[in-house]
Amino acid sequence: MRWRNMRRSTNVEDVRGRRSAVGAGGLKLGAGGLIAILAISLLLGKNPLELLSLLEQQTGGAMQEQAAAPAASDEGAQFVSAVLGDTEDTWARLFERMDRHYQPPKLVLFRGAVRSACGFASAAVGPFYCPGEARVYLSLDFFDELHQRFGAPGDFAQAYVIAHEVGHHVQNLVGIAEAVAGKRGRVGTADSNALSVRQELQADCFAGVWGHFAARRELLESGDVQEGLAAAAAIGDDRLQRQSGGEVSPESFTHGSSKQRVKWFRTGLESGDPGQCDTFSAAQL
């Protein structure tokens, strides 16, 4: 990718140079305090996060990020900022065609673990979007995992991941995310999973829409599309279940099979039309 030619976004919040602390008035719990909480939780047989939550409630404090050395503006951060900026430009134009205003998301770069409005999450869960605060959360370590564990190297593979999460933001802005959440709350597990699959595949398609316009602006290089499609295939539910040594169980899918993810990412790439991304009306995924 010619990502160095992309405009940098100003909506990246880099918290990799901070450490978590619990603040309550004049009270600060740093590493020593957190170790003490962990020890108490082990003695009581309690989840340490439950104890932290109880402490917050009792003191009126909140999980805060205590500043340490600021994170460097390294190449990884520059790459993320460039891709995010290009998605902003693409979706701003597409929303304008729909007589709507595009409000871009914030993207939070973190290391290890992070606390969001959607709860506490470790980097092991992978990138995620929190609709309540319109933020994408991303640990750059996932890009290494994408290459080493999933066998999907390349900068466009990484860009696909960012664009997919931005796709969830688009769903949030147009009301799709809220509608799906409402429906999932009224159905059983299997139907809820099926709705999740359709939502995730639409986000894949939206990522492809961004890739379509990046290609038109001559920002893609030879092999980039193949990198993106390989990434989509690498994180299909069926492939992940096989890698974990379990049986493939389609009723438990939440993101879609490798074939489905490739199909819908390709649909967006080839059409450049968000209207072609209606996975909820598609008879066959």
32-51 per-position pLDDT tens digit: 555 555 555 555 555 555 55
What would the mean pLDDT of 180-208 be, rounded to a whole number?
A: 97
Distance, CA of 270 to CA of 272 (rounded, Å): 6
Write down the pLDDT at residue 172.
98
What would the mean pLDDT of 106-134 be, rounded to a whole number?
A: 94
What would the mean pLDDT of 3-25 be, rounded to a whole number?
A: 77
Note whether 112 and 200 are same-domain residues: yes
Write down the pLDDT at residue 21.
37
Residue 43 placed within a domain: yes
Beta-bridged to residue 197, according to DSSP, are: none
Write down the pLDDT at residue 246.
83
153, amino acid identity: P
Note whether 161 and 32 are same-domain residues: no
Distance, CA of 46 to CA of 68 (rounded, Å): 29
- pTM, two decimals, is 0.82
pLDDT in tens, 159-186: 999 999 999 999 999 999 999 999 999 9
Beta-bridged to residue 29, according to DSSP, are: 22
Write down the pLDDT at residue 62.
41
Note whether 98 and 30 are same-domain residues: no
> 200: Cβ–Cβ under 8 A, 6 or more apart, which residues?
254, 255, 256, 261
Write down the pLDDT at residue 46.
53
Note whether 162 and 30 are same-domain residues: no
Note whether 193 and 56 are same-domain residues: no
Note whether 138 and 182 are same-domain residues: yes
Residue 283 placed within a domain: no
How many of the other CB atoms lie within 10 Å of CB of 132? Answer: 9
Note whether 53 and 90 are same-domain residues: no
Instruction: Output b/e per residue, 83-112; b: 16+ Cβ within 10 A.
Output: bbbbbbbbbeebbeeeeeebebbbbbbbbe
Note whether 130 and 266 are same-domain residues: yes
Of 26-30, 199-203, 277-281, the one with minimum mean pLDDT is: 26-30
> Containing domain of residue 56, as a range?
21-66
Note whether 190 and 83 are same-domain residues: yes
Total number of domains in the chain: 2
Supply φ then ψ for residue 76, to 5 degrees.
-60, -45
Query: What's the half-sphere exposure (Cβ side, CA atoms, 13 Å) at 73?
Result: 7
Residue 285 placed within a domain: no
Look at residue 59 and tell me whether its pLDDT is greater than 90. no
Note whether 130 and 148 are same-domain residues: yes
Beta-bridged to residue 107, according to DSSP, are: 12, 136
Write down the pLDDT at residue 40.
55
Note whether 40 and 142 are same-domain residues: no
Write down the pLDDT at residue 19.
61
- Mean residue pLDDT of the chain comes to 87
Of 65-69, 110-114, 161-165, 274-278, the one with minimum mean pLDDT is: 65-69
